[in-house]
Amino acid sequence: MKHEPPIARLPAEPYAMRMNQRQYGTILFALFLLIGMWPAATLAYDERSFRDLPWAVQLGLRVWAVDQSVPIVNQVVLVPDGATYLDEIARWSPRGRWPVLLSDDQLATKFIRRFRPAVIVERESVGELPAGDELETLLRETHVRAMGGDPNHLDASAIFRQNDYIPPGIVLSSVGDSAWPAAIALASGRLQPLAFVDGDFGRPNQSVDRDRLTPLVEQLRAIAAASGYPWETLEEGVLTFTICRNMAGRVNLPQTEGGDGNPSAVTDWLARHDDGTRFGFVGWIFGDETRSAYMAMCSLFLPRTNVWLANGYSGEGGFAQFDMQTAADQMNEHGYEVTHLAGPQFRAAAWMNTLGGGIDPDLLNVNSRGNANFYYTLDEQLWTVDVPILNHPAAVHFTHSWSARQPESRHTVAGRFLNHGAYAYIGSVQEPYLSAFIPPNILHDRMINHVPLIVAARHWAGQHQFARPWKVQTIGDPLMLAVPPDRLQKDRIDPEAEDRGRNVRDDVREAMRGLNEKATGDQYAKVIRRLALIGRDDLAIQIWRMAQQQGQAEAAAPAALGPLFRARENEEFLRAWSHISLRDEYLQTMLWHLMTPRLGSVSDEDTLLQLQAAVRASMPEVDAQRLAPHLARRLGGEHVRGWLQRLLDQTDNARTRQTIERTLRDY
């Protein structure tokens, strides 16, 4: 059954948008993109009913129409560098587009595991990427080509103008910043203008005075005005701004501008007039080329139909409105796959058991409390080291204080989620008060009705005291939708036969045939990595076992850890772990997430000593507290005292020292 958006259930919106004939042409252009070059999705609304929809639903339908009108090619292309990335994006057209990722062992693997392409192509480099003005010119030309135009005769604005098209947003970046891959992908994929803003606006972890960001405000407004599209209200035209570059995450505002003596989120302060009224919504992407490309591709190409709702609130007092049962019922009714963790299911012990092997939601919505470096389940305080490893890319909404205070740092909840593969994150930079967040039933009702997630997660003009510039940060693509499964574009088109790179699956088959008794450990490791990349953890584990039998475990072990973790092969994971020497914190977290719920049953000294050697540098005190009683049980108090004293000698962090000293007193 096709579900039409249940508009009557939406909260009353006093600023409902009324589209004029030109704006309605925006939807028609999206439906028959570039003069109707192919049949497109059909909306269940005529012009009159469309005009009667709330402005936020209209915005989502404009985005959805574009998403549905451009076919998705059933392939992923992996590239080695930025120049090749641009060369591949330039091959997009209204006849089809596909995900393009920079090769790496973590993010690309997560994406491919969820997207499940028929073909994976790996390209060789096309050469060096230009810099400065030359790069800006190349980005603008690529933008036009990806939308089906010829940059020798047209620019992006001419394409939009010829089709009487009003874009839903504007993308801003900088050629001197490494997040430009997200900008070109989102501008091209969502049919938005691409603009560039200059200046040093700080780093994501910083809090700065408004004067530091005034040039950014001025440039954003000037770009919006120069676009020629309506932008000054939420009633029409351009409603979102995607900032793909570094800037400070927090801004200190005077009380005359809504400040309360504490920092506000920069994304909630931008896209407002001087009097604080909102004219748009801001999404923010920062990071290196690999991560920014990944964040954009996840938003453009992945579904958000597997939803996890985790409720750490008791349901008393003001927390009652954040109960998630209604949201779970709504999502189930519309075909989402829903996991609702409430009561005993979101107590610490149950949650820690869930983390072993990783989790795989498309959208994770958590009710919690705590600070930047810890959060609570229903019954117990947990830490950033207990943020789950995401086996699939996920968008995360975290109702919680402080979690996004320093999103570039893995010492914070937001930073850890981004490090683990989140491509969107909504959370607070300070104490926001509970009412600053949108209750789950309203948030998910908006999403079901095509409202983009970042827009759905904010208070709208005139609705609420927290509609003023406040503290909820919105990281990710502001036009990203999470529409019901039955409204998704289901069919992909086959890729054209082109000889521009290696077929990764063919490469894997050839590499597997090359394994024999004389195969080296590096050959085994390569095959395991490639199998993990294409989503065949089962075969990767078989090859790992072959490597052990052939005496090549040491070289093959690092590649095997991911597949073994996801398969929850605890004993095999420990065997592989014993063979490796370079252990980064991401791999260490796999070990701890597998073993923490089982510490009470571990009697093997080697296992306990492996955990002792794998204490995570970001929070050694947490691992020490958890492991110490089990070490003492097996190896004695003297062993524990010596180990804790060595940890003390290695840190000058006051909080870490205080906790370890307190633990030491128990032994």
Kindly state whether residues 393 and 538 are assigned to the same domain: no
Say what the pLDDT of residue 51 is: 78
Kindly state whether residues 377 and 447 are assigned to the same domain: yes
pLDDT class of 545 with cuts at 50, 70, 90: very high
Q: Which residue has the higher pLDDT, 348 or 42?
A: 348
Say what the pLDDT of residue 25 is: 43
**What average pLDDT does range 384-390 have in this prediction?**
98
pLDDT class of 7 with cuts at 50, 70, 90: very low
Tokens read off for 256: 């005359």
Say what the pLDDT of residue 620 is: 96
- Distances from the Cα of 192 to the Cαs of 95, 144, 186, 342, in angstroms? 18, 11, 7, 40
493 domain-assigned: no
Question: Final residue of a domain: which of 19, 44, 68?
Answer: 68
42-56, 92-106, 107-121, 345-359: range with lowest mean pLDDT: 42-56
- Distances from the Cα of 412 to the Cαs of 164, 355, 371, 417, 596, in angstroms? 45, 18, 8, 9, 21
Q: Three-state DSSP class for 405? A: coil
Domain count within the chain: 5
pLDDT at position 28 over 50: no
d(CA 425, CA 415): 9
pLDDT class of 26 with cuts at 50, 70, 90: very low
d(CA 568, CA 232): 53
134-138, 225-229, 467-471: range with lowest mean pLDDT: 467-471
568 domain-assigned: yes
Look at the block and give the residue holding tokens 């470096």: 373
**What average pLDDT does range 350-379 have in this prediction?**
97
**What average pLDDT does range 175-182 have in this prediction?**
97
Residue pair 512/543 in contact (Cβ under 8 Å)? The answer is yes
Look at the block and give the residue holding tokens 């003390």: 648
Look at the block and give the residue holding tokens 């820690």: 352
Say what the pLDDT of residue 617 is: 93
Q: Residue 401's domain is classified under what CATH number?
A: 3.40.50.1460
Kindly state whether residues 228 and 344 are assigned to the same domain: no
Helix or strand run (H / E) with residue 122: strand 119-122
339 domain-assigned: yes
Which value, in Å, is the radius of gyration of the alpha carbons in the chain?
25
Say what the pLDDT of residue 463 is: 62
d(CA 557, CA 570): 14
Kindly state whether residues 509 and 650 are assigned to the same domain: no
Kindly state whether residues 567 and 650 are assigned to the same domain: no
Residues in the chain: 667
Q: What is the pLDDT of residues 421-458, one digit of tens each?
A: 999 999 999 999 999 999 999 999 999 999 999 999 99
Domain that residue 665 falls in: 602-667
Kindly state whether residues 117 and 265 are assigned to the same domain: yes
Kindly state whether residues 132 and 274 are assigned to the same domain: yes
Helix H, strand E, coil C: the string for 337-369 is EEEEECHHHHCHHHHHHHHCCCECCCEEEEECC
Kindly state whether residues 291 and 360 are assigned to the same domain: no
User: What dihedral angle (degrees, nearest 10) is formed by the CA atoms of 285, 290, 294, 296?
Assistant: 40
pLDDT at position 465 over 80: no
Q: What is the pLDDT of residues 519-541, one digit of tens each?
A: 999 999 999 999 999 999 999 99
Say what the pLDDT of residue 491 is: 81
**What average pLDDT does range 605-618 have in this prediction?**
95
Question: Final residue of a domain: which of 433, 463, 493?
Answer: 463
Distance of CA 20 to the CA centre of its chain: 35
Question: Final residue of a domain: which of 432, 463, 494?
Answer: 463
**What average pLDDT does range 219-232 have in this prediction?**
96
pLDDT at position 177 over 90: yes
pLDDT class of 241 with cuts at 50, 70, 90: very high
pLDDT at position 641 over 90: yes
pLDDT at position 29 over 60: no
- Distances from the Cα of 404 to the Cαs of 45, 70, 89, 454, in angstroms? 39, 34, 31, 15
d(CA 365, CA 441): 11
**Alpha helices (runs of H) in 488-619, residue ranges in sequence order:** 504-513, 521-533, 537-549, 553-566, 570-577, 585-595, 605-613
526 domain-assigned: yes
d(CA 349, CA 354): 9
pLDDT at position 316 over 90: no
pLDDT at position 344 over 60: yes
**What average pLDDT does range 30-50 have in this prediction?**
43
**Portion of the chain with pLDDT greater than 90, in percent:** 84
Beta bridge partners of 272: 278
Kindly state whether residues 392 and 260 are assigned to the same domain: no
Residue pair 147/188 in contact (Cβ under 8 Å)? The answer is yes
pLDDT at position 608 over 80: yes
**What average pLDDT does range 252-265 have in this prediction?**
82
**Portion of the chain with pLDDT greater than 70, in percent:** 91
Say what the pLDDT of residue 492 is: 93
486 domain-assigned: no
Choose the most confident range, by mean pLDDT, from 12-16, 32-36, 581-585.
581-585
d(CA 541, CA 616): 26
Residue pair 208/250 in contact (Cβ under 8 Å)? The answer is yes
Kindly report the number of other CB atoms within 10 A of residue 360's CB atom.
Answer: 19
275 domain-assigned: yes
pLDDT at position 616 over 50: yes
Kindly state whether residues 91 and 209 are assigned to the same domain: yes
**Entry pTM:** 0.92
473 domain-assigned: no
Say what the pLDDT of residue 258 is: 66
Kindly state whether residues 351 and 376 are assigned to the same domain: yes
169 domain-assigned: yes
Say what the pLDDT of residue 318 is: 86
pLDDT class of 47 with cuts at 50, 70, 90: low
Say what the pLDDT of residue 34 is: 34
Kindly state whether residues 154 and 281 are assigned to the same domain: yes
Beta bridge partners of 399: 367
DSSP E strand boundaries for 354-421: 363-367, 370-371, 374-376, 381-383, 394-399
